[in-house]
Amino acid sequence: MTDMENTFTERMARDQALVEDYLRNAFTSEVRHADLQEAMEYSLMAGGKRIRPVLTLETCRLCGGDWRAALPFACAVEMVHTYSLIHDDLPAMDDDGMRRGRPTNHVVYGEATAILAGDALLTAAFGQLARADLPAERIVKAVGCLSHAAGSAGMVGGQSLDMAGEGRALDREELELLQSLKTGALISAAAEMGCIAAGAAPERQAQVRTYAQALGRAFQVRDDMLDVISSPEELGKPVGSDQANEKSTFVTALGLEGCAALVEELTRQAIGALEGFEAPGFHIWLAQTLAQRTK
């Protein structure tokens, strides 16, 4: 590892620790039912990679903002992401038993509590936005950005297409649309909320969107590859589930080699979008690192 890579790895670890601390203290006295609070914290504090909140913090910094003020935005995105994972694992959706290296929420707390824990995390996310120590105008923009990305025009819409497409082969175009909504929209919102927190110019936000959309696509293609080439120990969830469920993925569409080439090309595109930023080193490193991730 070069000195530069070491520095970025440390910076990522420091950002992740900030996010962990903030999330740990997010619900202390508000939740009225101990089981519900436990279920929310069980999934939220289960050791996810925290890529989305790190992207918010680092993009705020990239745009010259005070990244500490972006922490509530960052953690709001992670709450939405965690809710989506809890609901995605439910018997009515993917019916998965393991996530983030532990039994899924509904396996431990039952379906009703898992649904409510997801609902409460989604709602709490918007409460977090309201709490940010930033100008009201930026908070309003962040509400618009996150609700658009998480809702029927974004992640929920993608999940709905996914459910509707079960049992038949999707073509490349359908797959791209589904994944750009299901996974890409929230990743893009995570980065754009960093721009919003920093009060960045619209042109800068547009560049960041291009970066994050390419990053999100590469992330999803790599995710499909990992379901074939990784192990349950590494991923914290079963592998081979796409094939077992006869799902259309980028691997079924392009093969493993085609996927590797696409991840490389998308990573190049992501990095190319950063031209003109003063210090894009972390974002470049992140794109390169995610392209080779093993979990």
Tell me the residue type at 208. Answer: V
Minimum CB separation from ligand GRG for residue 118, in Å?
Answer: 8
Among 183, 205, 207, 249, binds ligand GRG (CB under 6 A): 183
Of the candidate spans 1-9, 43-51, 62-70, 168-176, the one that interacts with ligand GRG by CB under 6 A turns out to be 43-51
Positive or negative: CA dihedral 220, 221, 227, 230: negative
Of the candidate spans 23-31, 61-69, 155-163, 272-280, the one that interacts with ligand GRG by CB under 6 A turns out to be 155-163
Among 100, 102, 131, 148, binds ligand GRG (CB under 6 A): 100
Of the candidate spans 58-66, 87-95, 131-139, 269-277, the one that interacts with ligand GRG by CB under 6 A turns out to be 87-95
Cβ pair 193, 70 in contact under 8 A: yes
Minimum CB separation from ligand GRG for residue 52, in Å?
Answer: 7
**Cα separation, 115 vs 98, whole angstroms:** 16
Give the nearer residue to ligand GRG in terms of CB position, either 138 or 182.
Answer: 182
- Could you count the other beta carbons within 10 Å of the beta carbon of residue 182? 22
**Cα separation, 218 vs 290, whole angstroms:** 8
Give Cα 89 distance to the centre of its chain: 16
Question: What is the residue whose two structure tokens read 């992330």?
Answer: 219
Of the candidate spans 26-34, 82-90, 129-137, 196-204, the one that interacts with ligand GRG by CB under 6 A turns out to be 82-90
Q: And the tokens for 283?
A: 């974002």
152 DSSP assignment: T
Among 88, 200, 225, 266, binds ligand GRG (CB under 6 A): 88
96 DSSP assignment: -
Enumerate binding residues for ligand GRG (CB under 6 A).
Answer: 48-49, 51, 81, 84-85, 87-88, 93, 100, 155-156, 159, 182-183, 220, 223
